[in-house]
Chains A and B, each alone.
Chain A
């Protein structure tokens, strides 16, 4: 204390101040340590998690590789899974999921068409599947030579689909995707129209198909109106060959007023908007035709 008295009041005061300050900061420091410790814990946990993730990922990759091998080699490879079954099943599912995702991506990049290399990469074979109303129909194939220019060397597209002019219009050389898309639209619309015609013949025995053609672009049907017993000739004109719905619907009847009646006007728009076999069901229900 002698030293303290010697230095005077001001220094005494500052000493006290330092003491007081250090007393204040001590708990602060302690909390900081705690904070840091917690952070370490959190980071450790994160590290462990990441480690586990890496582990899982490695495992997944291994599984994926064996899956890929399986699907290409068609070989049954026994997977050595020592872990608990629930865990391994999950992993297997995840591996399968990533595999499918990759496939889907590849599928998208080639435009959703099945393409395979032929003749050691000198050509490709493209498959265009057609479907209508959830039913798979004919599959059409094109074999295309790649060099010196793209050339369709072989195909099974029927002759009434203008394949060559489609190739020209869509610039096959530079824009094969557009060409395939247009062709696919033509083929799908044709398949749809053909299937609709089949369905009309199958479901509506009372409706007579008077006329149709190979492209199914014209359809003439004969209905009977129940009460008046008059016959109505209905012409469906599918002049847009990329669509499965008619662009023009025309009625003809002995009763000249009939096509102009509001009821038949409604039928006309119905036929333009719905597939013909479904429209006929509605028309039957409404009692417009037998």
Chain B
């Protein structure tokens, strides 16, 4: 085992949460039962990684095996780092019938054609997601296992989720993905977040949506204060109405956790009292950014409590409807009023 591999393992052990270290090692399956038992998980991390290094030396494990361990850990803890969504466009006729082995082979060969050396690992998770780990190298260096790119793709869907990708690697990955998934193009889906599960659920429509159907699912009662039966709530109906509209726009139950939404305004300044600004030729650009630990939850609350007006403005409701959290808003001839209106929150 060379130094770089040792460093890789040490860094990896530091990253794996202490509580899940045992199960992660079990899933990895490179230690014998006796070796597994000999590990004392109450010890500090540095001692554990020394012990593990010795075991790896003993078993003759290489960088390849360590990357397997890393992949197991990342798949189990996907909500780290920044994830970006991409959308594949214009499927070929056979895009819907592609299967895993075919995709694997194609992807590997396409990427290897573009860049060499490169280390690619592909693994299918139990939820049908295909996980790809890419360690990039170039003509002067070996694949850098310390900064791998992770790609998650569900076959038969047009979405790809990527983390730690540099702008230099992006066209290479895009080309390999487009060719092996049998599409014609790929574009930025303008959606990013720290939680892979959140942006995946958002695009796959796996959150609980509310529709004005004949038999609406009963909305859960939230924070109901036990009040005097003689006191009638005058505002009960508008409040229920607001809640329904907020849920129609943002969904019901637990919402995908998004951290930010960014609106880049490239619109004209409009104010009758300020002539110099209004008469400027070029657009007045500014950026409106909303940030929260759970942005959609906050927005839903704003709408249901009446802080933001209902029906919810399309600027806010299109986060979920269009599945993106980065918008560029420009003036267009047909409907400037709706296009330029700032979100009221």
Contact = CB atoms under 8 A, between A and B. Distances in A.
Interface in A185-222: 211-215, 217-218
B157 A114 contact: no
A118 to B, nearest CB: 5
Task: Summarize B's interface: helix, strand, loop or mixed.
Answer: loop
Contact of A159 (B99, B100, B157): B157
Contacts of B154: 160, 214
Nearest to B124: A211
A213 B321 contact: no
Contacts of B158: 159
A156 B206 CA distance: 8
Interface in B147-193: 154-159
A162 B128 CA distance: 19
Interface residues of B, number: 21
A248 B157 CA distance: 23
Contact of B97 (A118, A212, A239): A239
Contacts, number: 65
Nearest to B207: A156
Interface stretch (B211-219, B279-287, B299-307): B211-219
Contacts of B211: 125, 127, 141, 143, 154, 156
Interface of A is mostly: strand
B205 interface: yes
| Residue from B155, B211, B212, B321 having most chain A Cβ neighbours under 10 A | B211
Nearest to B311: A119
Interface string A114-158: 101010000001010000000000010101000000000111111
Given A215-B96, A217-B96, A239-B97, A160 B157 contact: yes
Interface in B284-329: 321
B209 A156 contact: yes
Contact of B99 (A118, A154, A156, A213): A213
Given A156-B205, A158-B204, A213-B156, A141 B99 contact: no
Contacts of A213: 99-100, 128, 155-156
B153 to A, nearest CB: 11
Nearest to A141: B211
Contact of B128 (A153, A157, A212): A212
B212 A125 contact: yes
A241 interface: yes
Given A158-B204, A159-B203, A212-B128, A116 B212 contact: yes
Contacts of A125: 211-213
A152 B154 CA distance: 24
A127 B214 contact: yes
B301 to A, nearest CB: 21
7 contacts: A141-B211, A141-B213, A158-B204, A213-B99, A213-B100, A214-B155, A215-B156
